[in-house]
Amino acid sequence: MTTPSYSLINNETGEKVDLPVVKGTLGPLGADVGKVYDKMDLFTYDPGFTSTCSTKSAITYIDGDKGILLYRGYPVDQLAKHSTFIEVAYLILHGELPSKVQLDSFEASIRRHTMINESLRRFFDGFNYDAHPMAMLTGIVGSLSAFYHDTTNNKDPKHREIFAHRMIAKIPTIAAAAYKKSFGQPFMYPKNNLDYCSNLLRMMFAVPAEEYEINPVAAKALDVLFILHADHEQNASTSTVRLAGSTGCNPYAAISSGIAALWGPAHGGANEAVLKMLEEIGDVKKVPDFMARAKDKNSGVRLMGFGHRVYKNFDPRATIIREQCHKVLKELKIDDPQLELAMKLEEIALSDDYFKERKLYPNVDFYSGIIYKALGIPVNMFTPMFAIARTVGWVAHWSEMTAEPGGVKIGRPRQVYTGSPVRDYAPIATR
């Protein structure tokens, strides 16, 4: 099949600029508009980047209409069923599934890097007890840049690898420390004989005074959730990491900027917002009233956990997580009225014309909060959980960008200026 060609035409003058086509392995072609300004004195305008590719990437593929999500070509449902978070992390970072030897060595390295510098641990003392864990996570991860400047030659593949392993290994320790800080319990050091998720659960829920038994159902559920959240191509937080990283800044600082972007309720903060919404509704009887408000633009209310910028059919992660949700509640013998409430909301929304016309379906965060709650994880830790998993994606995208042979081009969007035209300074006495 021949590749179609594209041009931009000035309908008044007939001036025409051919747009080179950028071809990937899957998905739509890209029209390269990079020279349009030079040749036509014209900017392309796309607020929210709904049709604009900021980069080429070989990590993750999404087909929003068909509900497809692939990590390095592998469907996420297959990975959720057969793989582990650590194996998926290796896959996302390296592009291929590991051999047994490669996996063992990768996992050993992640386990070895779980501790954080004692001085960094003391940074937590500076926070108030009621600081949001995402605020602490943003600050502490940014502070890692003050500790590891020995290995931040971004051009050196070994330095990039050390950064990747440190970041993935330390983020659970930092998140768990933020959790402990929030209610004054002693910080629990990592135990490196435990797998990634069991270690996280122990750091969050164990206390030095007692033995702690890890629930394998909880560890497995967390592992699946982390696989589903590990990457999602050029989402807001990953794009933030790439944009910050494109300046050549310290990589830990770039990840910190991604954490800040993730925090918003339109992105990773949605899982927390879903639970708050369920709490606010409180009772199945109040669902119709809430749905009416969610459809009313003037109310400022949205059905949290519904809708997605890319998925306009269904979110494949939501299908897996919905199943997991029922499984976990059953295995942990939890009868949660909020799940019933969530099912009712889902049932109504899926048959309601407002949601059907706008192609609004439950997204991954509609169910993840209910699982987290069942695992005993408090609401303000939901987004940090997302951040732990997404760290893999951030690190992989940063590494992919930084390893580009020609070097990174700084991200620098343009604007359509709507301010005052040029005018002369007026002395204060004349204003």
Task: Please identify which of the residues 223, 229, 365, 397 carries the catalytic annotation.
Answer: 365
Residue 76 in contact with ligand CMC, rule: CB under 6 A: no
Residue 358 in contact with ligand CMC, rule: CB under 6 A: yes
Q: Which of 129, 167, 215, 216 is nearest to 398 (CA)?
A: 167
Judged by CB, which is closer to ligand CMC: 110, or 134? 134
Question: Residue 104 and residue 375: Cα distance in Å, rounded?
Answer: 28
Options 181, 308, 322, 373; binder of ligand CMC; rule CB under 6 A? 308
Residue nearest to ligand CMC (CB): 307
Options 196, 226, 306, 372; binder of ligand CMC; rule CB under 6 A? 306
Please state the closest distance from residue 40 (CB atom) to ligand CMC, in A. 28
Judged by CB, which is closer to ligand CMC: 123, or 306? 306
Question: Residue 234 and residue 226: Cα distance in Å, rounded?
Answer: 18
Contact characters 318-357, ligand CMC, x per CB under 6 A: ----------------------------------------
Judged by CB, which is closer to ligand CMC: 195, or 352? 352
* Binding window for ligand CMC (CB under 6 A); candidates: 27-35, 173-181, 247-255, 296-304: 296-304
Options 365, 371, 399, 401; binder of ligand CMC; rule CB under 6 A? 365
CA distances from residue 243 to 149, 394, 411, 413 in whole angstroms, order as listed: 20, 11, 5, 10
Task: Please identify which of the residues 232, 308, 315, 397 carries the catalytic annotation.
Answer: 308
Please state the closest distance from residue 70 (CB atom) to ligand CMC, in A. 16
221 within 8 A of 371, measured Cβ to Cβ: yes
Q: Which of residues 17-56 bind ligand CMC (CB under 6 A)?
A: none
Residue 240 in contact with ligand CMC, rule: CB under 6 A: no
CA atoms within 13 A on the CB side of 210: 9
Residue 305 in contact with ligand CMC, rule: CB under 6 A: yes
Residue 303 in contact with ligand CMC, rule: CB under 6 A: yes
Paired sense of beta strands 30-31 and 16-19, if any: unpaired
Contacts of 30 (CB under 8 A, 6+ apart): 21, 22, 23, 24, 53
Determine phi and psi for 22, rounding to 5 degrees.
-105, 125
Q: Which of residues 115-144 bind ligand CMC (CB under 6 A)?
A: none
Options 59, 92, 364, 387; binder of ligand CMC; rule CB under 6 A? 364
Contact characters 194-233, ligand CMC, x per CB under 6 A: ----------------------------------------
Give the DSSP letter string of 75-138. Answer: EHHHHHHH--HHHHHHHHHHSSPPPHHHHHHHHHHHHHT----HHHHHHGGGS-TT--HHHHHH
Please state the closest distance from residue 252 (CB atom) to ligand CMC, in A. 22
* Structure token digits, residue 38: 């030079």
Residue 235 in contact with ligand CMC, rule: CB under 6 A: yes
Question: Residue 360 and residue 385: Cα distance in Å, rounded?
Answer: 25
Length of the chain: 431
The alpha helices in 149-250, defined as continuous H runs, are: 157-182, 196-205, 216-229, 236-245
308 is an active site residue: yes
Options 304, 345, 385, 388; binder of ligand CMC; rule CB under 6 A? 304
Please state the closest distance from residue 227 (CB atom) to ligand CMC, in A. 15
Options 171, 360, 371, 381; binder of ligand CMC; rule CB under 6 A? 360
Determine phi and psi for 359, rounding to 5 degrees.
55, 50
Residue 383 in contact with ligand CMC, rule: CB under 6 A: no
Q: Which residues pair with 30 in a beta bridge?
A: 22
Q: Which of residues 258-287 bind ligand CMC (CB under 6 A)?
A: 266-268, 270
Contacts of 29 (CB under 8 A, 6+ apart): 3, 4, 21, 22, 23
Question: Residue 340 and residue 357: Cα distance in Å, rounded?
Answer: 25
Paired sense of beta strands 6-9 and 16-19, if any: antiparallel
Give how many residues touch ligand CMC by CB under 6 A.
19
Residue 371 sits at the vertex; the CA angle it makes with 390 and 87, to the nearest 5 degrees, is 40
* Binding window for ligand CMC (CB under 6 A); candidates: 68-76, 194-202, 297-305, 322-330: 297-305
Residue 363 in contact with ligand CMC, rule: CB under 6 A: yes
**Interface positions with ligand CMC (CB under 6 A):** 235, 266-268, 270, 294, 302-309, 358, 360, 363-365
State the catalytic residues. Answer: 308, 365
